[in-house]
Amino acid sequence: MNRQLLLDVLPEPAPSFSNFIPGPNDEALAGARALAPGHAAYFWGPAGSGRSHLLRALAALPQARYFGADADPQALRDAPDAQQPPRLIAVDDVHLLGEEAQAALFALYNRWRESAASGRAFALAVAGDRAPMNMPLREDLRTRLGWDLVFRLALLSDTDKLAALTLQAGDRGLQLAPEVLNWILTRYERDMRRLATLLDALDRYSLASGRAITIPLLRAMLADQEANRPQ
């Protein structure tokens, strides 16, 4: 098979509650599952802790909308006034918001509070990389991040990451030997998003080469990637 014409047999699984490995973050997962209209939750933790996974899982629910840090501020401001108002609005990576987007999120929090006891109530899920009062945001918005529920997420342990890798490999139809999984964890990036990307690349490389997934195949793939890296 030509490596430039790789065929994706299985798409990358979308973030969901079922493929979230909680590890020490059981409380955050439970809070996300229980988030109902009229309530707000702020999820914070370092990159790779799963905060974006939870927000995308929430945004996959019926009548939910997701906004990243690069979203149009006006679209964020207008979200509650849509012809079919969402039951949940998720706003990710708020530590990256510019001034206009911060003003839009401030207005959204006010609308969330005003509508909480009405038939137009919606849930608000927000995520960032640090505790509310340490956020590099305008003061009145920092205060609103802590208005309702706040959940701190921690990075997974190696045992938790091994479980996560095993689950994600299974979702892709891959059966990886324990020595391959251990090699990945001890020799490669430990950020779960990077590890998920590695699994996708390994799946494609295995198909392209017609070889089973082994440590030698993994080494060959990484060597090819390094050789083809733009100088």
Quickly state the pLDDT bin for 160 (edges 50, 70, 90): confident
More confident residue, 7 or 71: 71
Name the 3-class secondary structure at 28.
helix
Sorted by where each begins, the domain ranges of the chain are 26-152, 156-227
Q: Among 3.10.20.340, 3.40.50.970, 3.40.50.620, 3.40.50.300, name the CATH number for the domain at 26-152.
A: 3.40.50.300
Quickly state the pLDDT bin for 64 (edges 50, 70, 90): very high
CB 104, CB 114: distance < 8 Å? no
More confident residue, 11 or 83: 83
- Cα angle: 213, vertex 217, 218; to 5 degrees: 90
Distance CA 129, CA 136 (A): 10
pLDDT at 191: 67
pLDDT at 231: 60
pLDDT at 229: 67
Quickly state the pLDDT bin for 11 (edges 50, 70, 90): low
pLDDT at 4: 37
CB 89, CB 159: distance < 8 Å? no
156-227 CATH fold: Helicase, Ruva Protein; domain 3 (1.10.8)
Quickly state the pLDDT bin for 1 (edges 50, 70, 90): very low
Give me the phi and psi of 90, to 5 degrees please.
-110, 130
Look up residue 204 and give its amino acid.
R
pLDDT at 164: 82
pLDDT at 137: 95
Q: What is the pLDDT of residues 172-205, one digit of tens each?
A: 888 888 898 888 888 776 667 677 778 888 888 8
Whether 104 shows a pLDDT value over 90: the answer reads: yes
Q: What is the pLDDT of residues 211-226, one digit of tens each?
A: 889 999 988 888 887 7
Provide the mean pLDDT of the chain: 87
Whether 26 shows a pLDDT value over 80: the answer reads: yes
